[in-house]
A and B are shown apart, each in its own frame.
Chain A
Amino acid sequence: MLKISSYSIRRICLCAVPAMVLLLGAPLWVFAGPEAALLVLPVAGACFVAIRSLMKQVATARAQECFLDEQLIQSQKLAAIGELSAGIAHEINNPLAIIAQEIEWARLQFDGVTSDSPGLEEARDSLNEIAVQVERCREITHKLLDFARKRDPLIQGADLNKLIEDMAKLVEKESSQKGIPIIRDYRTDLPPIFTDPPLLRQVILNLLNNAVYAIQQNGAITIRTRIPESGQVEMVISDTGVGIRKEDLDKIFNPFFTTKPPGKGTGLGLSICHSIIVRLGGRIAVDSEPGKGTSFAVRLPIFHNAQKKD
């Protein structure tokens, strides 16, 4: 619908303004002379400007609607994937537990055995490796369950700047050794927000961790807080790292999407962040330029929905 109106406004702009100049200008020229006819021009100009600004507003509204649609689709998609993967994770956990038990049992059998047979040592090593890999699987299933868990947030009052600062301190020790200072640009008059502090900390830590990973060595992380509109607060975490390729930008909140080498990341970090922020009633957006850096903006309401019910 909006498409049509935007299109028709553009057409009006292109056809109606010259038509008006002709229609009004010609009779005026005839009856009142060329000076009077010239007066039509500023009027037409004003009309043109007005119509163009209207057109721009329509275009912005349309872009915003597209954006909201995308956000909605994204969160629905994530919810569906979350449910599916929780089911799978649950199913896999049971055999994993049995494997872990069998490893323990096999280890006990080996304990009493004394022999210099090289095969025995090999078997022990092999058992240890199986145990390590089982633990790895467990971690993945745990994260998956965590991702899908529909835990209602517990809402407490919190100071966003303080919350960020605590996590920044934690990251800073490690990042400063890599030549990555953390630059703070906190808005000092931020109102207290009502949110789930540990969940939010998890998001902040994840974003900071990603920022360090994106930079690797020498660069900077900037944390900014601001009030984008009344009733909301926003934090923006930017890095000067490798950036995200354009074709990957749409996928980064998808579970299992990762650019890290196999075994280094589960690809669940950002999808967990996304699901947490949605649960907190906010939204998370990404902006990136390959080679220049990435910035994540997290917007949160000052009051959480759950409070209004009380």
Chain B
Amino acid sequence: MASFRVLIVDDEPDFLETIVKRLLKRQVDATGAGSGEEALEVLKTQSFDVVILDVRMPGMDGIETLKEIKRKSPLTEVIMLTGHASVESGVQGMQFGAFDYVVKPADFDELMEKVSQATERKALHEARIRGTAE
């Protein structure tokens, strides 16, 4: 099975480090970014199946970053991670094309499940585009 390419964006270094480690252990090709700006920088040179994105970050927040990611790479699926759930930002995030919302602290297996569903969706999307191109 091809492994997923996942980018995790969170401003908490401890959280970021742990989750990247755990994902790598599960054979997920995981990369970490400490801010929205850094994530967009990484996305310029690499492509990912799924981005796991913290909603509340200093600087560019999750919603802004989501908008940019969806504009530059519409096929990449984005899972929003949120600690202080704000319904308003949830509604916005789904509107701007997020795949799902996960409330922190996220159960790791559940997160894996969502990553796999998001990857499936990306593959379906790509298959459809190939299908219409032929």
Contacts and interface: CB of A to CB of B under 8 A. Distances in A.
Interface of A: 143, 146, 152, 154-156, 166-167, 169-175, 197-198, 201-202, 205-206, 208-209, 212, 269, 272
Contacts, number: 67
Q: Which 8 A-B pairs have the closest CB atoms?
A: A173-B85, A202-B94, A170-B85, A169-B103, A209-B87, A170-B90, A154-B124, A174-B87
Contacts of B117: 156, 197
Interface residues of B, number: 23
A205 B117 CA distance: 19
B101 A170 contact: yes
A205 B87 contact: yes
Contacts of A269: 91
A201 B102 CA distance: 12
Interface of B: 82, 84-88, 90-91, 94-95, 97-103, 117, 120-121, 124-125, 128
B80 to A, nearest CB: 9
B127 to A, nearest CB: 10
Q: Which of A143, A170, A197, A206: most chain B CB closer than 10 A?
A: A170
B100 A205 contact: no
B45 to A, nearest CB: 27
Contacts of B125: 154
Contacts of A174: 85-87
A170 B90 CA distance: 8
A155 B99 CA distance: 13
11 contacts: A156-B117, A166-B100, A171-B87, A173-B85, A174-B85, A174-B86, A197-B99, A198-B97, A202-B94, A206-B91, A209-B87
A223 to B, nearest CB: 15
B64 to A, nearest CB: 11
